[in-house]
Structure 1
Amino acid sequence: MEQAEKGKQRLAVLFGGQSTEHEVSLRSSINVINAVDRQKFDLTLIGVDKRGRWTLCNEADYLLYPDDPARIKLSPSTRYLAVVPGQNAAQLIDISSGKALPAVDVAFSVLHGAAGEDGSVQGLLRVLGIPFVGPDVLGSAVCMDKDMTKRVLRDAGLPVTPSVTLHRADSAAVDFDAIAGQLGLPLFIKPASQGSSVGVSKVLDAAGFRQALDVAFTFDHKVLVETAINGREIETAVLGNDSPAVSVCGEILANDEFYAYDTKYLNDGQAGLVIPAQLERAVSDELRLIAQAAFRVLGCAVMARVDFFLTQDREIIINEVNTIPGFTSISMYPKLWEASGLDYPRLVDKLITLALDRARDAADIKTDR
């Protein structure tokens, strides 16, 4: 690989990963890569395979079946990468040649889910001295764990779905009647640290409850049991650092029991996105203010998507906060910003600019006495 052209910066795009959202990440990468301004940036493409190995990819052929959501996968590669910690020009080494890759100025990770969105890769990029798009280590970790998200939001006085947290070690002793009495029926059961509705079940009775727990505990050691909120599903996109902006609101109209993985990514036409959502101005303004407050209190930066329930009584409840939202062709985050006047290429450019701005601000923090 050649050095970046004079006047350009080098952008690393990370995609794939070890999580259940590997294929979603691959689809997101296509749109991000296509939207990058090649007059400003040269690219280093890093595909993370399902074993967690970083591979160096060529843009022309890094994906197999890129147009088929059910079969999309990373092209096989043996160009594995090693990393060199510290403020060092040799951040990434091509193991096959032993040579250093060109220094990366900024990274755009679309590694959705565990081992990508949970603070682990963010910590590694910090150690490598590479600025990156998205929240820092703490904000990423807190938002990935839905239990911790709720705890922080509740402490700040922000509205969240009522829930009970269960751990695998205690699951055998769980009393369904007690939980149903506390939270009502139906219930939703979900892994604490998964995304894209993976492992989520709707529960109506004791038999379904035990089966749903078994499913959820295959994806995480900690599970949330939540009250099923009868309300509209509203989403907002947040963009910024110290003074974050919030997009128009969008609404999800899912034809399935809930907005499940297949509905989101595989079954075309099964979910409708209404952008902007048909809301009274006062309700829309309140949703956007709460989204901004949640973004700040959770330690987010650069970007996040904040999802809500809106009940018939106009009660606003935060459902979850996603720090690496989807960037597929049907994903809500870029669509919300497009409806707010920021098209895909300008959105990607703005996200990269915000990442570099945050890194410059962080450089002012003293690290010695």
Structure 2
Amino acid sequence: MRILLVAGGWSTEREISLKGAASIAAALRERGHDVTLFDLSDGFDKLLALAEKHDAAFLNLHGQPGEDGLVQAILDRAGCPYQGSGPAGSFLALNKAAGKALFRLAGLRTPDYEFLPVRPGADWKCSLPFPLFVKSNTGGSSIDLFRVNDEAQLKEALDTLFSQHQEVLVETLIPGREVTCGVVGREGEERALAPVLIVPKREFFDFHDKYAADGAAEICPAPLSAELTAKVQEAAVAAHRCLGLSGYSRTDFRLTDEGELFALEVNTLPGMTDASLVPKEAAAEGMAFGELLEMLLSYAMEKKA
């Protein structure tokens, strides 16, 4: 199969995207596919013409463009199938405030939050109790993620994010453990993979903990009871479906000591190296990295057919 591997771009997660793309290209070529690696920064206007020359695209983009559904919309116009969700689901998942509103509509618990699309006035006071997390509403990879414990730290975090012209989400910190769970499958046949328990080395699961060699421990399958495992898996499938996603996704949760589960956000283009979370979950079921990639592409080809 001729596969257009789209990566890079110009988001703050560009380097992570390119690193993952190298692993994807190697795995697909090993399985006999003809792979063209295309960095969006090399000419966004070339995407349509390249797409028409390939059987399918594999997207390994993080942030915008890519997770916002723009590239998916262009590929739809070109008639080029791609793995994962379409434009609408991608955009809803990337926008944390929109995703959290849909979680609640679907009966999923999510931490209380305030959405700040623009800088509030000088007399604004957050209605949520400290400590809080402050993050970009459409960012990822824990870049510019702040844990704040008082008004001074909150102001500093808001100044940083608004100076970058970002929308801001302020969210209640839920004490407990970090758990994530992937979902794979055709529409209507989605199933959850084995959850992963994340044990940060630092105060919280930040950029360093995600990507450094001495970062967080990622235990898969998560050492949870059968009841809690099922609860996480059911919630991951529910989050996937309530956003209208397809192919695969990964939902991040906070799990309290009392067994309460809170959905944080859904990633429609999760990391794709053989050491990333969804591939780890697939490997726990005996699925090789290249096999997982081919399965996701097969869903794309079926949708086109």
Larger displacement relative to structure 2 (323-332 or 159-168): 323-332
1:144 aligns with 2:94: yes
Larger displacement relative to structure 2 (28-37 or 165-174): 165-174
| Alignment of structure 1 residues 300-319 onto 2, 5 Å | 300-319=245-264
| TM-score in terms of structure 2 length | 0.95
| Whole-angstrom distance in 2 between the partners of 1:24 and 1:293 | 28
- For residues 85-144 of structure 1, what are the alpha-carbon distances to aligned partners after superposition, in whole Å with 9 as ceiling and x for unaligned? xxxxxx33xxxxxxxx87211100101111111111111111111101110000000000
Question: Which residue does the alignment assign to 2:295?
Answer: 350
Q: 1:344 to 1:318 in 2, by over 3 A?
A: same
Shift of 1:53: 2.6
For the 8 Å contact 2:52–2:79, the answer to whether it is kept is: no
Residue type of the alignment partner of 1:257: E
Question: Which residue does the alignment assign to 1:104?
Answer: 54
1:113 aligns with 2:63: yes
For the 8 Å contact 2:132–2:171, the answer to whether it is kept is: yes
| TM-score in terms of structure 1 length | 0.79
Residue type of the alignment partner of 1:48: L
Question: Which residue does the alignment assign to 2:205?
Answer: 259
Q: Which has the higher helix share?
A: 2
RMSD of equivalent CA atoms: 1.7
| Whole-angstrom distance in 1 between the partners of 2:31 and 2:272 | 22
Unmatched segments (≥5 aa) in structure 1: 1-8, 55-80, 85-90, 93-100, 361-369
Question: Which residue does the alignment assign to 1:11?
Answer: 3
Shift of 1:44: 1.8
Higher RCO (Cα < 8 Å, 6 or more apart): 2
1:175 aligns with 2:125: yes
Q: 1:220 to 1:259 in 2, by over 3 A?
A: farther
For the 8 Å contact 1:191–1:220, the answer to whether it is kept is: no
Residue type of the alignment partner of 1:129: G
Shift of 1:38: 5.2
Q: 1:218 to 1:127 in 2, by over 3 A?
A: farther
Q: Which secondary structure state, in structure 2, belongs to the residue aligned with residue 292 of structure 1?
A: helix
Residue type of the alignment partner of 2:10: Q
| Whole-angstrom distance in 1 between the partners of 2:285 and 2:30 | 24
Unmatched segments (≥5 aa) in structure 2: none
Residue type of the alignment partner of 2:192: V
| Whole-angstrom distance in 1 between the partners of 2:201 and 2:232 | 24
Among 38, 48, 72, the alignment partner of 2:40 is: 48
Q: Which has the larger radius of gyration?
A: 1
For the 8 Å contact 1:194–1:219, the answer to whether it is kept is: no
Q: 1:289 to 1:330 in 2, by over 3 A?
A: same
Q: 1:220 to 1:332 in 2, by over 3 A?
A: farther
For the 8 Å contact 1:149–1:298, the answer to whether it is kept is: yes
For the 8 Å contact 2:109–2:261, the answer to whether it is kept is: yes
Shift of 1:172: 3.8
Question: Which residue does the alignment assign to 2:16?
Answer: 24
Larger displacement relative to structure 2 (231-240 or 34-43): 34-43
| Whole-angstrom distance in 2 between the partners of 1:315 and 1:224 | 22
Residue type of the alignment partner of 2:206: A
Q: 1:102 to 1:224 in 2, by over 3 A?
A: closer
| Whole-angstrom distance in 2 between the partners of 1:336 and 1:19 | 27
Shift of 1:351: 0.8
Question: Which residue does the alignment assign to 1:72?
Answer: none
